[in-house]
Amino acid sequence: MSTLKEKIIKPDEITKYMDGDRDFIDDGAIERTLAQHCDPDPTQVRDILAKSRAVETLTPDETAVLLHVEDPELLEEMRQTAREVKLKVYDNRIVTFAPLYMSNLCVNNCAYCGFRTGNPDAVRRKLSMDEVRRETEALAGEIGHKRLIVVYGEHPETGAEYIADTIRTVYDVEVPVRHGKGCIRRVNINAAPMSIDDLRMLHDVGIGTFQVFQETYHHDTYASLHPADTIKGDYRWRLYCMHRAFEAGVDDVGIGTLFGLYDWRFEVMGLLQHARELEDKFNIGPHTISFPRLEPAGGSPLTRHPRHRVSDEDFRRLVTVLRLAVPYTGLIITARESAELRDEVLVHGCTQTDASTRIGIGAYSETDEDQHEERQQFMLGDTRSLEELIVALAEKGIITSFCTAGYRCGRTGECIMDLLRTGQEGRFCKLNAVLTFREWLDDFASEEARTLCEPVVQQEIAEIRERVPQVYEKFMEHYHRTAAGARDLYF
């Protein structure tokens, strides 16, 4: 293992980004900042909310203030402000995706993970390219997804070359649907931290967002959960992976923590510090932030009785604070959570979610729809189909977007940061959301779902006519062509 660790980790690709001998997460400073703001003043809270409305990243002190608000009226103001910010930046839409697990081979031994090498009950498997093709055909042809997050354990057999091959395979798949062909238009990846050279390889095959979770920003907790003799035992190799991604040319990165490993307030502060570090060094913050909670995992007693369990109420609060603290970023809520909780936070803060989710290796192309603990990294809380989720959102007046146009038009990296902060990206996305939703309804939806969703389509068209009249005529031309069977028209 030590030889593999030495082969993977390149110390100079850590230290080159550091200021001296300390990394940018100062545990003591975070704890002191939290302790200093235990009794927030309402006037100060409202001043901070005004800053969030202006889509400005909050400071650690400002974020600590929001984390300690207990007054019910102030909490409701925070919640409503979070919704205002979300609508200003992302408009009235939710982006959907599917996770596709390519392998559960892993050399690490994380105490909370069903994939850990020390779990004797795990059924190990990696997908062949033929199996990747079949999984993609099911996702793009039967369900109607347009974007994926592909997931890999850390193992020599599933390194950068394997990842690149799987991505090429996904992009190559085209499946006949009612009108034309279904395909995946964007592949984001969740994988282990990599070297700059490996990340350049993935950039060249067209990856979307490169996503790596720190798991916990608390140094001592991280060390206790990740054995030092494993690759993942190196906290800083993981912490600085997004720096390497930007240097490799990857425009969009996603960060996250696994809530339940340490105090949730500390982890929110860690995410904020990470976002501010990327802004300071590269003028580009995280494209997305994820905040999964610890869920039961096979072979992991820790997940059954976590020391830092996050309640539903605390979870709602951390989503609200993240939306306010890093107002430009996409917030991802996954099917780990219950349907009720997901529906709630999708209204008030989150912008992306998965549906029709299966996380067993090879599960999309199989007929068995049950969850199997020995084949999954964790157990899911919401197993609704994509259509069921779309209808539930439509009944709340929210449109589902399958848009990937911005990435292909170059609205990424520093460019999209400016567009998000000014609210301009939301205008593009509103147009493209309607066009891609029309595609999905006509290509995949049941007749009942189309009927239930039609009012939200007409609502969005009316808003486009009112808010962006200068492009309305061109938009309607695209819309009518899409309704007639044209595909992938966008602004």
Q: How confident is the model at residue 411 (pLDDT cuts 50, 70, 90)?
A: low
Percent share of the chain, pLDDT over 70: 94
3-state secondary structure of 385: coil
Q: What's this model's pTM, rounded to 2 decimal places? A: 0.94
Candidates 473, 423, 470, 490; CA nearest to 91 is 423
Is 464 in contact with 456 (CB distance < 8 Å)? no
Q: How confident is the model at residue 374 (pLDDT cuts 50, 70, 90)?
A: low
Q: How confident is the model at residue 373 (pLDDT cuts 50, 70, 90)?
A: low
C-alpha distances in Å from residue 122, one per residue of 158, 335, 421, 429: 17, 21, 44, 41
- Name which of 141-155, 185-199, 326-340, 417-431 the model is least confident about: 417-431
The pLDDT score that the predictor gives to residue 2 is 59
Residue 1 has pLDDT above 60, yes or no: no
Please write the tens of the pLDDT for every residue from 300-311. Answer: 778 788 889 999
Looking at 138-209, list the stretches that DSSP marks H as alpha helix, in order from N- to C-terminal side: 160-172, 196-204
Candidates 412, 22, 61, 7; CA nearest to 239 is 22
Percent share of the chain, pLDDT over 90: 83
Q: What is the mean pLDDT of residues 440-458?
A: 98
The pLDDT score that the predictor gives to residue 300 is 74
The pLDDT score that the predictor gives to residue 296 is 75
Q: How confident is the model at residue 406 (pLDDT cuts 50, 70, 90)?
A: low
Residue 418 has pLDDT above 80, yes or no: no
Residue 295 has pLDDT above 90, yes or no: no
The pLDDT score that the predictor gives to residue 118 is 87
Distance, CA of 75 to CA of 68 (rounded, Å): 10
Residue 369 has pLDDT above 90, yes or no: no
Residue with tokens 């595609």: 439
Please write the tens of the pLDDT for every residue from 65-80. Answer: 999 999 999 999 999 9
Distance, CA of 461 to CA of 472 (rounded, Å): 9
Q: How confident is the model at residue 375 (pLDDT cuts 50, 70, 90)?
A: low
Comparison of pLDDT for 57 and 115, the residue scoring more: 57
Quote the mean pLDDT of the chain: 93
Please write the tens of the pLDDT for every residue from 203-232. Answer: 999 999 999 999 999 999 999 999 999 999
Residue 26 has pLDDT above 60, yes or no: yes
Using the Cα atoms of residue 452, residue 458, residue 461 and residue 463 in order, give the sign of their dihedral.
negative
Q: How confident is the model at residue 429 (pLDDT cuts 50, 70, 90)?
A: confident
Angle, vertex CA 455, rays to CA 452 and CA 456, nearest 5 = 100
Q: What is the mean pLDDT of residues 19-26?
A: 95
Q: What is the mean pLDDT of residues 152-174?
A: 97
Q: What is the mean pLDDT of residues 290-306?
A: 82
DSSP string, 420-445: HHHTHHHHHHHHHHHHHHHHHHHHT-
- CATH superfamily to which 2-27+93-383 belongs: Aldolase class I (3.20.20.70)
The pLDDT score that the predictor gives to residue 491 is 85
Domain boundaries, the chain: 2-27+93-383
Residue 454 has pLDDT above 60, yes or no: yes
Distance, CA of 243 to CA of 250 (rounded, Å): 10
Q: What is the mean pLDDT of residues 272-301?
A: 91
